[in-house]
Amino acid sequence: MTQSSSVASTQANSPRFFVLASAILASAMGFIDGSIVAIALPQMRVALDASFVEAQWIASSYVLMLSALIMLGGSLGDRIGVRRAFSFGVVIFVIASLACAVAQTSEQLILFRALKGIGAAVMIPGSMSLIAVNVPRAERGAAMGIWIAASSITTACGPLLGGLLLTYGDNSAWRWIFAINLPLGAAVLVMLYTKVRDDHVETGEPKAPVDWAGIVLSVASLGLLAGGLTALGESDAGGLAVAMICAGLVLVAVTVVVQLKLRHPIIPVQLFANRAFAGANLFTLLAWMPIAAVVFFLPMVLIVGWQLPPSYAGAMFLPMSALIAIFSPLAGRMADRVGTLPMLVSGGVVLGLSSLALAAAVFYQQFWLGILPSLALLGVGMGLAASPMSTAIMNSVDDSQVGSASGINNMVARMANLFAIAGLGALVAYVYALIVRAGSVPEIVRDGLLETGFGERLTGGLYVEPAVRLQKVAMDHAMIALCLALAVLCVIASLIAWASLPKSGKEEREAEAG
């Protein structure tokens, strides 16, 4: 049986509903993970006695493995079959979720979250591949549209449901945000093995060797960079942080050299010689940081500093997600008419304005009239930039390179999450400590707040009015500084897009044709 006949058979015998349901449920589990964990972090930190740096690693370990391995995960389906690879990722993700649910220390949770990232690196790209091999080409666009819309809705509802669970549950409620993946993952696996045909065919042709050197170097370089940036937030780890960052940069250079020498590299870095491709990815790295940083840090400010219920923190992202879903297709159509540059620049500007608006909202202590409108504006900015950014990536390379280009951009988007939490977390920790040290409180209170760090609920002897008030002020100032930094990054992103991308739709079409 040939590969084409196998795919045709799969398309004919895999009910569309079960294919889409499997892809939607699995990708939603992966997408929800970051936002719902951010809402639960204050409760996790109390339960596990985790520091701010450990909280960063609880989030970063997942994104680190996802970023470093997503290129490998995307290619695994070509080697062993899409259904097998996809189910392999789901199994790892579900097992790791169970381990997270029963973790007893922050170190265990960090380790199990990294394991979840490995599963997600296979599962998330596998969800798109599952649709591609089971849906006829003529109907694939509609199927992908359903997948994107449904994934957006489920991703938006996840933090809301998590917030309600944390608001009305007991102190162990945070464990259920991981445990809920067990029945969802089981449902995906049942549908895969009862309703979706196996697409794997042994052709007898030799497969390209796995680039293990590139994989190890990617994990090591990103890990050192993330670790160094995270350590910058610790006052006594300055030398170690700089050493880790320098070592990470050296490994990045080694990775580039190794990848250029290989015939089948995991990361085809030669694509970055294309100015438009490099510029679009730099735009992605910088412009994607606001949403990652806001999703991670803002819930801690509202839940711990403002003492709002977690349900508020979960619900506040709904308008943002809805506006991303509304504006993304509109911006995609506009990019086809006027080119990607105007849309990316306008998206970057709106993202910058939303960051400034969020800083003002925190300063003036406005949730309904400040936080919510700012997040809505953030959703508009993301909606304006997301689809044109993907178009800019696709238009900057030949058709034969589209798969690699898309994989690299997906990796860069995950790296934006990683560096937003690790790098900008150092800024947050620095400003928080600066304000605490300047506070007019007894030394024992000051030392306690410094030891507790940003975003941890005060308990015991520290839960007194001067400490609560100073912690809130310090967290607010740290969030304002973060928002101002995000605004600067968005301006830089827009300038990079202006300098690297074709200036008009006509130029872009000519460049694509040429």
Instruction: Look at residues 55, 490, 417, 486 and name the one whose alpha carbon lies nearest to residue 233.
Output: 55
Q: Does domain 1-195 sit in CATH 1.20.1250.20?
A: yes
Q: Quote the pLDDT of residue 201.
A: 60
Give the Cα-Cα-Cα angle 495, 326, 292 (nearest 5 degrees): 50
Section 494-503 average pLDDT = 94
Give residue for tokens 């994107």. 148
Tens digits of per-residue pLDDT, 337-396?
899 999 999 999 999 999 999 999 999 999 999 999 999 999 999 999 988 998 899 889
Dihedral of CA 56/250/488/384: which sign?
Answer: negative
Task: Give 61-109 as a DSSP string.
Answer: HHHHHHHHHHHHHHHHHHHH-HHHHHHHHHHHHHHHHHHHHT--SHHHH
**Percentage of the residues of the chain whose pLDDT score is greater than 70:** 93
Instruction: Write the secondary structure of 143-197 as one string of H (helix), E (strand) and C (coil).
Output: HHHHHHHHHHHHHHHHHHHHHHHHHHCCCCHHHHHHHCHHHHHHHHHHHHHHHCC
Tens digits of per-residue pLDDT, 89-110?
999 999 999 999 999 999 999 9
Q: Quote the pLDDT of residue 10.
A: 42
Section 57-84 average pLDDT = 91
Helices (H), 272-371: 275-287, 289-300, 310-315, 318-338, 340-363
The length of the chain is 514
Tens digits of per-residue pLDDT, 446-458?
999 999 999 999 9
What DSSP character marks residue 477? H
Give residue for tokens 């923190």. 313
Distance set, CA 74 to CA 121, 125, 217, 403, 408 (Å)? 8, 5, 18, 10, 11
Instruction: Look at residues 228, 229, 224 and name the one whose alpha carbon lies nearest to residue 428.
Output: 229
pTM of the model: 0.90
Give residue for tokens 């701010």. 52
For domain 271-514, which CATH number applies: 3.90.1150.10, 3.40.640.10, 4.10.910.10, 1.20.1250.20? Answer: 1.20.1250.20
CB neighbour burial string for 177-213, b if at least 16 within 10 angstroms, e if fewer? bbebbeebbeebbebbeeebbebeeeeeeeeeeebeb
Q: Cα-flanking dihedrals φ and ψ of residue 384, to 5°?
A: -70, -30
Give the Cα-Cα-Cα angle 120, 196, 19 (nearest 5 degrees): 60
Give residue for tokens 């997301």. 386
Distance set, CA 337 to CA 111, 329, 333, 342, 394 (Å)? 47, 13, 7, 10, 16
Query: Given 3-state DSSP classes, what are the helix, strand and coil percentages for the chain, each rounded to the nearest 5?
Result: 85, 0, 15
CB 66 within 8 Å of CB 154? no
Q: Quote the pLDDT of residue 78.
A: 79
H or E segment and range at residue 115: helix 106-134
Q: How far apart are CA 460 and CA 454, in angstroms?
A: 17
CB neighbour burial string for 135-169, b if at least 16 within 10 angstroms, e if fewer? beeeeeeebbebbbebbbbbbbbbbbbbbbbbbeb
Q: How far apart are CA 321 and CA 318, in angstroms?
A: 5
Question: Residue 32's pLDDT band (boundaries 50, 70, 90)?
Answer: confident
Q: Quote the pLDDT of residue 204.
A: 61
Greatest mean pLDDT range, 1-15, 92-106, 238-252, 493-507: 92-106
Q: Quote the pLDDT of residue 3.
A: 42
Helix (H, G, I), strand (E, B) or coil at 289: helix
Give the mean pLDDT of the chain: 89
Does residue 324 surpass a pLDDT of 80? Answer: yes
> For 65-69, 214-218, 326-330, 446-450, which range has the lowest pLDDT when averaged over its residues?
326-330
For 368, other C-beta atoms within 10 Å of its C-beta total 10
* Ramachandran region, residue 26 (left: φ > 0; alpha: ψ -120 to 50; beta: rest): alpha
